[in-house]
Structure 1
Amino acid sequence: MPIRAPRICGCGKAVPPGGRCPCRATADAERKARFDKTRPSARARGYDSDWKSARIDFLKAHPLCRCGAPATVVDHIKPHKGDNAIFWDRTNWQALCRHHHNSTKQRLERRATQGA
């Protein structure tokens, strides 16, 4: 079976197939740090003690993710973007396992914002 050749990063370094150049990893970390400095706290975004209680009640009523794993995250199907009406609309909530929330759901949201 043929082996793919390394690719050349914009910085000029050879990167093995499936790998990431250290310069890209550093740039990504810096970009994320800049974003986190401007992002409001979780409490400022509405995730307070009221949310914690509602989340626990919702997970008791919906204990499983769609994959059958135990649900640990209450996800907003339609992103609320600070809108309290959408934030508290329980028909907009879904129970997900951490894997599906942090990978699948986030990937779908990135695609939606890039296409808009």
Structure 2
Amino acid sequence: MPGKPPRICGCGRKVPAGLRCECQAKADAERKARFDRTRPSSSARGYTSKWERARAEFLAAHPFCRRCGAPATVVDHVKPHRGDAALFWDRKNWQALCVNHHSSAKQSEERRAARGQRK
């Protein structure tokens, strides 16, 4: 079965199927940098040394990703806390995830949910 053909980016470059053009990657990095400049620091969002100790304790008790069983390295908030300290520290709202599930699948789900709320 043949693969998808390359596509032409808006900048005119030929890009292999499934890959991003250099100009798109640069635009993504710039967009993320603009967002990060407006975002409070991690400690201002609650990720302090107290969090690091609680996170390590939770991962010791829950060493595997809740979704795939791979070694877990991230403690994720099931329901985004959005600055709510009670929800942030509610261990029933925590789940152990691998980096892949936290950084890709979970973030995509949250973006889809946010788009649904705006409609």
TM-score range, shorter chain: 0.7 to 0.9
Runs of 4 or more above 4 Å deviation: none
Instruction: Give me the whole-angstrom Cα distance separating, in 1, the residues matched to 2:54 and 2:35.
Output: 28
Query: TM-score, normalised to structure 1's length?
Result: 0.88
In the alignment, does 2:73 pair up with 1:72? yes
Instruction: Give me the whole-angstrom Cα distance separating, in 2, the residues matched to 1:80 and 1:114.
Output: 17
User: For residue 22 of structure 2, what is the aligned residue in structure 1?
Assistant: 22
Q: Percent identical across equivalent pairs?
A: 70
User: For residue 88 of structure 2, what is the aligned residue in structure 1?
Assistant: 87
User: Map of 1:44-59 to 2, 5 A cutoff?
Assistant: 44-59=44-59
Query: TM-score, normalised to structure 2's length?
Result: 0.86
Instruction: Give me the whole-angstrom Cα distance separating, in 2, the residues matched to 1:63 and 1:54.
Output: 14
Shift of 1:28: 0.8
Letter in 2 for 1:97: C
Structure 2: gaps spanning 5 or more residues:
none
Q: 1:17 to 1:64 in 2, by over 3 A?
A: closer
Residue aligned with 2:96, SS: strand
